[in-house]
Amino acid sequence: MQPVIAVESVSKSFGAVTAVNGVTLDVRPNECLALLGPSGCGKTTLLRLIAGLEAADRGRILIDGADMTHAAPYARPVNMMFQSYALFPHMSVADNVAFGLKQDGVKGDALKARVQDALAAVEMEALAQRMPAQLSGGQKQRAALARCLAKRPRALLLDEPMAALDKHLRERTQFELMALRKRLGIAFVVVTHDQSEAMAMADRVAVMDAGHVLQVAAPREMYERPASRRVAQFFGDINVWSAVVGLAPGTVDIPDLRLAVRIPAALPSAGSPLSVALRPERIAIARDPAPMGDCSVSGTIEDAVYLGMTCTYFVTLSSGAVVRVTAQNGEGAQTFSRGDAVHLSWRPAALTVLAA
Amino acid sequence: MNAAARRRAVLTLPWLWTALFFLLPFAVVLKISFAESQLSIPPYTALFERVDGVIVGLRATLANYRMVFTDSLYVTAYFSSLKIAAIATLLTLLLGYPMAYGIARAPASHRVLLLVLVMLPFWTSFLVRIYAWIGLLRPTGIINAALESLGFIDAPLALLNTPGAVYLGIVYAYLPFMVLPLYARLERLDPALLEAAADLGAKPWRAFLHVTLPLSRPGIAAGCLLVFIPAVGEFVIPELLGGPDTLMIGKVLWNEFFSNRDWPLSAAITVVLLMVLVTPIALLQLAQSRTLRRA
Amino acid sequence: MRRPSGTTIALIAGLAFLYVPLAVVIGYSFNASKLVTVWTGFSFTWYGALLADEQILNAARNSLIVAFTSATLAAVLGTMAGYAFARFGRFRGRNLLAGSIAAPLVMPDVMTGLSLLLLFVALEQTFAWLPGRGLITIIIAHAGFAMAYVTVIVRARLIGMERDIEEAAADLGAKPMTVFFGITLPMIRPAVMAGWLLSFVLSLDDLVIASFVSGPQSTTLPMVVFSSIRLGVSPKINALAAILIIVTLVLLALAAWMSRGALRMRPAK
């Protein structure tokens, strides 16, 4: 299946700063791809390169198989929703939506109909004659969305779509946006720095750091099998320990835990350094020792943070290492406080082996 | 058309215009400043001697510059202009700073109105504003008439055609140029800084001295330069409000040009004036490009 | 009641200092007496005399022609230059161009006037361009320094304007010309109009530069006013001054009213 957008070894520098460094990435038809990373990682630059608002120093950008590396932004069949929405302040919502269509020479009744359709898709028909300054944040976002969708782009590029919205609006908007995408069947590329937003919206996530794409995977795979320590740490909370491959076949020594565990995965030769990662919610916490078969350590609660649905505990082990544990709050759930002696346990399969 | 060609197209007209009507005139002034005055049209000698259109010789003289640098009239006029402009600038700052401060600290809803009130006179005719002061200051003017009728004075005071009137005129005419950059600076000053200073034990005047004043320095610099530079070359104010002994280079230049019709000497005066002002103008450019970059 | 602070007093005193002289001029323009300081009664005599003065009317017409043309020229040139400075980043000669455009803002008028006159004379001698000088040379001179103001205003507006609005237009398929005339220009219109108005007023006001570059037949209003002021205060000039003050105020009020719509359009931040 031909990708809608193919980014091939693209680099872009601003002066001495390399914002995007040899990135290769495909956007598949109808998928939502999230570009996730800390600010300054190059994700917005990558989006602007796809839109044609920046010129690539090296590499190629193909849209529907056609080389668009040097095409002007107005000649590319993709549209961008800006972080600020960039609505034209001197035009009504309807005129904003019509703007892009007029550039394509759409006129008369066809123009009216397509503006109407686009506004209907985002439920903004009633506000068509409003000026942008008279809209709320959520309405502005929908107007900007309608303006892009009216052009029926091959892909929609969204730069931090939720950044300008109030927190309570975000979750609902994410959901609406995804429902709209499925209905229209076009590809989305979403730039975000928010891991939960990426997980909620995206079919696949590309984690970026310092101009590189570190890993591209579905959210679940990314969460459960991060490719590297960096990805693991960026994508949700995680405990990461240094470890070495043990002398007994299939075992790993973790000095911080004073533990040797059997790991059901292919391992390098004995004595090789590596990292072992464990999600905090995969750890069971209890006053009593764990049943046989699970990995188990004991320690003291250093700090307990109540977060409503869950509690997060920081448990100090005898080695001095601190383990982060997340426990569900619920009926009959045990709670602990600072100074309590506890036992932590998990199944060996919950451990992820990473390169050192 | 690609981006580079578009840029060139946009820039062509401004470039042509400034080259033809700003840079070229200075070259012409420079050229004529080396010529000699003569009774002809135009009233100066050609710099290049031509025979049948071929340049055969160069006739340049430094006599005009010798005159400007040695004749006490011109030397005194330059120094007196700088002195008058400097004192007037200081006076404008002393009046303008509290005004700008007052506007910046006024309730936000009043600020625009106050600013407009300060700027409005700048939009009305400069000549009319100077003229208004003649009506007030002259021996039979309003001020003298009022003082006389109140019995403070027996004979009219000489207010018009004095150095004081010139200072007054400059302060009056250029006040908005001082207030605006000062206001722009003071308005951006975070009131929390003064609250922090007070919280840390600084009395109001100390907080002003150590927080407000240093932070408004760029505004002070810009305001002073905006007043000082044009004031040095001012012609209308010394001509109308000053006396016969008020010596300013703008007035000297005007007379040299219109009354004595000595174009080469006028050109030399202009070149030297430019040399005098080139440093403050460069400083102003620097200050403004910095402000813009920060904005 | 709160004791007024020092800055409040300075503000009030400063504003009084700015306005009292103007108020006096306007007041005395309605004085019936020929003696400027003695009030004898309310009258429009001097306005009538003003309207009958051929020389003044002719000069006023010249001034309006010059102001209108030079302001329009300056608005076009200044918008181009302001756009270039705000949107082109670095380009060759940027500092030289910026300095050359901005210098007339502060350069003493006598310098600008003399250098332009010498240029015009040289052009006439060498190429027979602009023979005899006239309104056209004043228009060129005024457009030059007014362009500086327009450039500064337009540049400041463009720098304050988010670039992504123009990028959005390009992204939606608008070619550069369409982006400029459809998006950029409407958004900076208040700035361009303010620049035009300022240029108009400054041109109407200029004495020194016009005195240097004008031809023998092209007397402008400030030149007439200046020669009468030199002869002393006269009630007719009071009336003219009052008209000039009031016309400016009306123009400004108009501009403020027009830009209200523009302000409403501005995106809420």
Residues of C (192-231) whose Cβ lies below 8 Å from B: 198, 201, 204-205, 207-208, 211-212, 222, 225-226, 229-230
Give SS3 for B160: coil
pLDDT of residue C78: 95
The sheet that has A310-317: what strands, in order across it? A284-286, A341-346, A295-306, A310-317, A322-328
Does C162 contact A99 at a Cβ distance shorter than 8 Å?
no
User: Shortest CB distance from C114 goes to which of B103, B133, B266?
Assistant: B266
Q: What is the pLDDT of residues A229-241, one digit of tens each?
A: 888 888 888 999 9
CATH (domain of B205): 1.10.3720.10
Among A27, A77, A53, A56, which residue's Cα sits nearest to residue A189?
A: A27
- A138-152, A169-183, B32-46, range with the lowest pLDDT: B32-46
10 Å CB burial of residue C35 (0-12, 13-18, 19+) is exposed
The three-state (H, E, C) secondary structure of B196-245, written as one string: HHHHCCCCHHHHHHHHHHHHCHHHHHHHHHHHHHHHHCCCHHHHHCCCCC
* Residues A326-352, mean pLDDT to the nearest whole number: 86
Backbone angles phi, psi at B171, to 5 degrees: -60, -45
For residue A65 the two structure tokens come to 């198989």
pLDDT of residue C261: 47
pLDDT of residue A272: 86
Rounded to whole angstroms, the Cα distance separating A311 from A305 reads: 6
pLDDT of residue C182: 92
pLDDT exceeds cutoff 90 at B45: no
Q: Where are the domains of chain A?
A: 5-233, 237-355
Does A87 contact C267 at a Cβ distance shorter than 8 Å?
yes
- % of chain A beyond a pLDDT of 70: 99
User: Shortest CB distance from B131 goes to which of C7, C211, C241?
Assistant: C241
* Residues A124-129, mean pLDDT to the nearest whole number: 94
Render chain C in DSSP notation, one character per residue.
-PPPPHHHHHHHHHHHHHHHHHHHHHHHTTB-SSSSSS---B--HHHHHHHT-HHHHHHHHHHHHHHHHHHHHHHHHHHHHHHHHHHS-S-TTHHHHHHHHHHHHHS-HHHHHHHHHHHHHHHHHHH--STT--HHHHHHHHHHHHHHHHHHHHHHHHHHS-THHHHHHHHTT--HHHHIIIIIHHHHHHHHHHHHHHHHHHHHH--HHHHHH--TT---HHHHHHHHHHH---HHHHHHHHHHHHHHHHHHHHHHHHHHHHHHHSPP-
Q: What is the pLDDT of residues B59-95, one digit of tens each?
A: 778 888 998 898 888 999 999 999 999 999 999 999 9
Print the domain residue range for B92: 71-261
Cis peptide before B42 (omega within 30 of 0): yes
Q: What is the pLDDT of residues B13-22, one digit of tens each?
A: 999 999 999 9
- Measured between CB atoms, does A79 come within 8 Å of chain C? yes
Chain C residue numbers with beta carbons less than 8 Å from the beta carbon of B230 are 106-109
C10 domain residue, yes or no: no
Indicate the pLDDT class of residue C114, thresholds 50, 70 and 90: very high
For residue A159 the two structure tokens come to 């730069």
Q: Are A55 and A70 in contact (CB under 8 A)?
A: yes
pLDDT of residue C8: 81
Q: Which architecture, in CATH terms, is A237-355?
A: Beta Barrel (2.40)
pLDDT of residue A293: 63
Chain A residue numbers with beta carbons less than 8 Å from the beta carbon of C172 are 74, 79, 99-100, 103, 147-148, 151
For residue B191 the two structure tokens come to 């009131």
* Residues B234-257, mean pLDDT to the nearest whole number: 90
Indicate the pLDDT class of residue B109, thresholds 50, 70 and 90: confident
pLDDT of residue C161: 84
Chain C residue numbers with beta carbons less than 8 Å from the beta carbon of A71 are none
What is the b/e burial string over A280-316, where b = at least 16 CB atoms within 10 angstroms of the residue's CB? bbbbbbeeeebeeeebbbebebeebeeeeebbbbbbe
Q: What is the pLDDT of residues C131-170, one digit of tens each?
A: 777 889 999 999 998 999 999 889 988 988 888 999 999 9
Candidates C94, C118, C129, C161: best to mutate against B (most CBs of B within 10 A) is C118
Q: How many CB atoms lie within 10 A of CB C159?
A: 15
Indicate the pLDDT class of residue C3, thresholds 50, 70 and 90: low
CATH (domain of C140): 1.10.3720.10
Does C171 contact A74 at a Cβ distance shorter than 8 Å?
yes
C1 domain residue, yes or no: no
B64 domain residue, yes or no: no
Among A109, A112, A174, A113, which residue's Cα sits nearest to residue A141?
A: A174
pLDDT of residue C217: 79
- Which comes out higher in pLDDT, residue A29 or C129? A29
- Measured between CB atoms, does C64 come within 8 Å of chain B? no
User: Shortest CB distance from C172 goes to which of A72, A79, A131?
Assistant: A79
Rounded to whole angstroms, the Cα distance separating B26 from C111 reads: 9
Residue keyed to tokens 């699970």? A294
* Residues A56-84, mean pLDDT to the nearest whole number: 93
C145 domain residue, yes or no: yes
**Beta-ladder partners of A213:** A208
Rounded to whole angstroms, the Cα distance separating B133 from C19 reads: 11
pLDDT exceeds cutoff 90 at B194: no
Among A182, A220, A222, which residue's Cα sits nearest to residue A31?
A: A182
CA distance A80 to chain C (A): 7
pLDDT exceeds cutoff 80 at B223: yes
- The nearest alpha carbon in chain C to A99 belongs to C172
Print the domain residue range for C132: 52-262
Amino acid at C6: G
CA distance B200 to chain C (A): 23
pLDDT exceeds cutoff 90 at A111: yes
Rounded to whole angstroms, the Cα distance separating B183 from B226 reads: 14
Does C267 contact A73 at a Cβ distance shorter than 8 Å?
no
pLDDT of residue B83: 95
pLDDT of residue C63: 93
Backbone angles phi, psi at A32, to 5 degrees: -110, 115
- A70-74, B54-58, C66-70, C187-191, range with the lowest pLDDT: B54-58
- Measured between CB atoms, does C21 come within 8 Å of chain B? yes
For chain A, what is the mean pLDDT? Answer: 90
For residue A126 the two structure tokens come to 């009633």
Indicate the pLDDT class of residue C258, thresholds 50, 70 and 90: low
pLDDT of residue C35: 64
Rounded to whole angstroms, the Cα distance separating C79 from C148 reads: 10
The gap from C-alpha C242 to its chain's centroid, in whole angstroms, comes to 18
Amino acid at B221: A
Rounded to whole angstroms, the Cα distance separating B60 from B31 reads: 9
- % of chain C beyond a pLDDT of 70: 91
For chain B, what is the mean pLDDT? Answer: 86
Indicate the pLDDT class of residue C232, thresholds 50, 70 and 90: confident
Q: What is the pLDDT of residues A34-54, one digit of tens each?
A: 999 988 899 999 999 999 999
pLDDT exceeds cutoff 90 at C51: no
Chain B residue numbers with beta carbons less than 8 Å from the beta carbon of C225 are 125, 127-128, 131
pLDDT of residue C264: 43
For residue C123 the two structure tokens come to 């052009």
CA distance C233 to chain B (A): 7
Give SS3 for B267: helix
pLDDT of residue C4: 64
pLDDT of residue C38: 67
pLDDT exceeds cutoff 60 at C260: no
Q: Which chains touch A (3 or more CB pairs under 8 A)?
A: C
Candidates C90, C157, C167, C171: best to mutate against A (most CBs of A within 10 A) is C171
Indicate the pLDDT class of residue B167, thresholds 50, 70 and 90: very high
Q: Is the dihedral of CA B134, B135, B138, B143 positive or negative?
A: negative
pTM more than 0.80? yes
- Which comes out higher in pLDDT, residue C8 or A322? A322
Indicate the pLDDT class of residue C267, thresholds 50, 70 and 90: very low
pLDDT exceeds cutoff 70 at B131: yes
Q: What is the pLDDT of residues C87-98, one digit of tens each?
A: 988 888 888 898
- Measured between CB atoms, does C172 come within 8 Å of chain A? yes
Domain count, chain B: 1
Give SS3 for A55: coil
B59 domain residue, yes or no: no
Among A276, A279, A303, A294, which residue's Cα sits nearest to residue A344?
A: A294
Chain B residue numbers with beta carbons less than 8 Å from the beta carbon of C121 are 42
C37 domain residue, yes or no: no
Homologous superfamily of A5-233 in CATH? P-loop containing nucleotide triphosphate hydrolases (3.40.50.300)
Chain B residue numbers with beta carbons less than 8 Å from the beta carbon of C93 are 15
C110 domain residue, yes or no: yes
pLDDT of residue A66: 94
Domain count, chain C: 1
pLDDT exceeds cutoff 90 at B58: no
- The nearest alpha carbon in chain C to B113 belongs to C256
Chain C residue numbers with beta carbons less than 8 Å from the beta carbon of A155 are none
For chain C, what is the mean pLDDT? Answer: 84
- The nearest alpha carbon in chain A to C178 belongs to A103
**Residues 6 or more apart in contact with residue A356 via CB below 8 angstroms:** A242, A272, A273, A274, A275
